[in-house]
């Protein structure tokens, strides 16, 4: 099974294409990012196992750091005072 969306799966009707062309002619020329992306075709691919593992590890690591900082904030008075004074 191929990941993501494929151009082969999309089947357009010729009538739909003609009506889209007519609508485009009546609209103004797009500017900026929309004009740049008008002719581009994007395909979405699902992230691989390695990429999922990397992002999962980053999220879990940051959550662990947050938990440790909260515990330190609650247990250590000097750290609590430091955070309180920096936050002013």
Residue that has been written with the tokens 């099974």 in this structure: 1
Q: How far apart are CA 70 and CA 88, in angstroms?
A: 18
Q: Are 64 and 58 in contact (CB under 8 A)?
A: no
Q: How far apart are CA 81 and CA 17, in angstroms?
A: 66
Percent of the chain with pLDDT over 70: 66
Crossing angle of helices 49-75 and 77-86, in 10° steps, is: 100
Q: Are 7 and 42 in contact (CB under 8 A)?
A: no
Rg of the chain on CA atoms, in Å: 26
Domain ranges of the chain: 9-86
pTM of this structure: 0.49
Full pLDDT tens readout for the chain, 88 residues: 556 655 555 555 555 655 555 555 556 676 777 777 777 777 778 899 999 999 999 999 999 999 999 999 999 999 999 999 998 7
């Amino acid at each position: 099974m191929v990941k993501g969306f494929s151009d082969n799966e999309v089947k357009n009707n010729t009538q739909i294409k003609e009506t889209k062309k007519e609508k485009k002619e009546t609209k103004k020329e797009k500017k900026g990012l929309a004009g740049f992306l008008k002719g581009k075709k994007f395909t979405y691919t699902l992230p691989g196992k390695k990429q999922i593992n990397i992002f999962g590890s980053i999220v879990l690591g940051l959550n662990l750091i947050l938990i440790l900082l909260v515990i330190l904030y609650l247990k250590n008075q000097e750290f609590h005072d430091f955070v309180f004074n920096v936050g002013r």
